[in-house]
């Protein structure tokens, strides 16, 4: 009783207990938070293989990848030339057409407007394609060109190009 409390020892014990408790709590919380990120079966559905042999020149198809629409377009000679002619420095989101395609005639885009997430028109022949003959977003009027780049309207960025590889001449793997 008469002994003076050893404060250094107490401080050490207190600090190490609190630290251990905090680390333990964090280690306990982590699996719970992690369980909310995509599960294995969701990740397994993260890549899609597409057969492109039936697509004609000038035609475009829409497929679903990770729950989002992906546009695959076989561009005509005119469309490719129109896309190449633009000076990248004149654009809102400067990018050369060559940086957006692997093979000139195949354009692959995530079909989600970079403004607020609507799906732009332009996939069907009858659709409005906007002033630059690419895609036109009906929600707030963004115009995209034949390379999927933003040219007019509120969208800040070009349409995204998803990661993809040509498995052979007629198959693309997206994701």
Give the residues lining the site for other proteins (CB under 8 A). 1, 31-32, 34-37, 39-42
36 or 125, CB closer to other proteins?
36
Contacts of 159 (CB under 8 A, 6+ apart): 71, 109, 110, 111, 112, 113, 114, 120, 135, 144, 148, 149, 150
Query: Whole-number minimum distance, CB 163 to other proteins, in Å?
Result: 23
User: Which tokens sit at 123?
Assistant: 């996939």
Q: Where are the alpha helices (DSSP H) in the chain?
A: 7-34, 40-44, 77-85
Query: Whole-number minimum distance, CB 23 to other proteins, in Å?
Result: 14
Q: Is 137 helix (H, G, I), strand (E, B) or coil?
A: strand
Query: Whole-number minimum distance, CB 5 to other proteins, in Å?
Result: 9
Give the Cα separation of 147 and 167 in Å (integer).
22
Contact between 128 and 121 under an 8 Å Cβ cutoff? The reply is yes
43 or 116, CB closer to other proteins?
43
User: Which neighbouring-strand residues pair with 31?
Assistant: none
Query: Whole-number minimum distance, CB 25 to other proteins, in Å?
Result: 12
18 or 88, CB closer to other proteins?
18
Active-site residue, from 10, 103, 124, 140: 140
1 or 85, CB closer to other proteins?
1
140 flagged as catalytic: yes
Ramachandran sector of residue 66 (left: φ over 0; alpha: ψ -120 to 50; beta: rest): left
User: Which tokens sit at 106?
Assistant: 């195949």
Give the Cα separation of 30 and 139 in Å (integer).
40
Give catalytic residue positions: 140
């Amino acid at each position: 009783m008469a002994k003076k409390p050893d404060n250094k020892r107490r401080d050490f014990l207190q600090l190490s207990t609190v630290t251990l408790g905090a680390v333990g709590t964090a280690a306990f919380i982590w699996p719970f938070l992690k369980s909310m990120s995509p599960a294995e079966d969701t990740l397994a559905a993260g890549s899609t293989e597409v057969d492109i042999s039936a697509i004609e020149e000038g035609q475009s198809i829409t497929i679903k990848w990770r729950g989002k629409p992906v546009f695959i377009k076989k561009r005509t000679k005119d469309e490719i030339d129109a896309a190449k002619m633009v000076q990248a420095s004149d654009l809102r989101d400067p990018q050369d057409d060559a940086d957006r395609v692997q093979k000139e005639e195949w354009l692959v885009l995530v079909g989600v407007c970079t403004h607020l997430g609507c799906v732009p028109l332009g996939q069907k022949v009858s659709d409005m394609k906007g002033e630059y003959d690419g895609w036109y977003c009906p929600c707030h009027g963004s115009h995209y060109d034949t390379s999927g780049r933003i040219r007019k309207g509120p969208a800040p960025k070009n349409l995204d190009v998803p990661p993809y590889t040509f498995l052979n001449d007629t198959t693309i793997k997206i994701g």
